[in-house]
Amino acid sequence: MNGGRFEGRIAAVIGGGSGMGAAISRRLGSEGAHVYVADLDESSARAVAQQVGEDGGTATSRCLDAVQPGELKDLYDEIETEHGVLHVLHHQVGIPGPGGIDVSEKDWQETVDVNMKSPFYASTLAFELLKKANKKGSITLTASTSALVGSPFSPIYSLTKGALTAYVRSLALVGAPEGIRVNVICPGSVDTPMLPTFFGREPGADIEDLKSGFISEFIPLGRAAQPEEIAGVVAFLASDDASFVTGTAIPVDGGIVAK
């Protein structure tokens, strides 16, 4: 256990079933939050909720398609019925999208839906519950270093993730009178099951070679992040330790943006 910064508080992690989302769910639970682990993969959400319990915390798992506003609303309705309040919302859902600029309308729409529509509705539909958190509400979204620096690999990924950095500035102003803080994290390469997909957009790509080349050339710290390192930043932003931090985009990238 890391302490009790979230004792008595309710958290929801959208996309909490694997990778960074799973680590964030476990971290919030270890610090006392009751965590709703929501994921499209029901078995993964259940497994993470079980891990939270094994670590001494409490959690509820829910199967949820984060692109469907109705399913997000159902989750928040359940939280309101069970607890009457939400203190922490973290949105982790995202996809790399297609590489290059030859993008079909179908792929374009899917990338926009997952990377922009989902965080928009996940955050706005939770607002009424977060207002009840006695000015201790926190929203964190997940963008990418590709939201802050140019990437030649997937302009649509940069487009959709870059939108979140502007969005949190606006939403932070909406939430400020209610004490709802809104921030976005911008991870670089993180050692999760999704990482290889960023390097495997082209047929026949040598993923491991491309990954190691990128890390050695572009990341000053010389390695990918561990999911737990991302979770630590989210826990900070969601806690009272960050009570005066809102409307910011925070790189968690080993120095990529510093270059």
DSSP 3-state of 61? strand
The DSSP H or E segment spanning 70 is helix 69-82
Give catalytic status of residue 157 as yes or no. Answer: yes
Phi and psi torsions of 8, nearest 5°: 80, 5
Q: Burial of 170 by CB count in 10 Å (0-12 exposed, 13-18 middle, 19+ buried)?
A: exposed
| Pairing assessment for the beta strands 10-14 and 88-91 based on DSSP bridges | parallel
Torsion region of 135: left, alpha or beta (phi above 0 gives left; psi -120 to 50 gives alpha) = left
d(CA 197, CA 194): 6
36, 76, 121, 157: which is the annotated catalytic residue? Answer: 157
Active site residues: 157
